[in-house]
A and B are shown apart, each in its own frame.
Chain A
Amino acid sequence: GAVVSQHPSWVICKSGTSVKIECRSLDFQATTMFWYRQFPKQSLMLMATSNEGSKATYEQGVEKDKFLINHASLTLSTLTVTSAHPEDSSFYICSATLGVSYGYTFGSGTRLTVV
């Protein structure tokens, strides 16, 4: 149980376009999901907390207008990178939890390359 599916696994887009990444909890309901960004050979940096039915809360320094998060249902959260630029190229990972005693389950990640 507690499977999180993330799609797409990789995407290449042109500078100035927008890209949407989906994160789904397959066998459980997740009122809260988290979005991380990971640069090569670095740790995961929390970008925002996605709350079902309400606005996401962003970490300091993360542009909420560039990284739009929508959590419209208990099983789906989306991250949209708007007007993407090469510096947005990175590995994005989502996570969700059944409850803290179960730990946090992570999606398989999305490698975004902006050209």
Chain B
Amino acid sequence: QVQLVQSGAEVKKPGASVKVSCKASGYTFTSYYMHWVRQAPGQGLEWMGIINPSGGSTSYAQKFQGRVTMTRDTSTSTVYMELSSLRSEDTAVYYCARDIEYSSSWSLYNWFDPWGQGTLVTVSS
């Protein structure tokens, strides 16, 4: 079955960087884009960016431009999200989510399915 398995929880100091991994299985890794979404404690969902596992191209939310880097390793079917210059406000659960694209009539729809289990990143001095 399709599965996304993320790396374990991290504790980082302000100013450091964190790199979270997301290993895909059960489907052709290079055929589906991957998103990263984060959720601060008790808050809603915030889209961070997307990577094309085939060519490696990326698009990031403006809020994270310059601080986030998404990469992939096709040999291990793994995508990575690295966030630098961490501050306390970056404390959150980080999710990867596969993009599904569906064509109907003249429209192209997208949604996320499945999601990884989430990785808690805590930024604290």
Do A and B interact with each other, yes or no? no
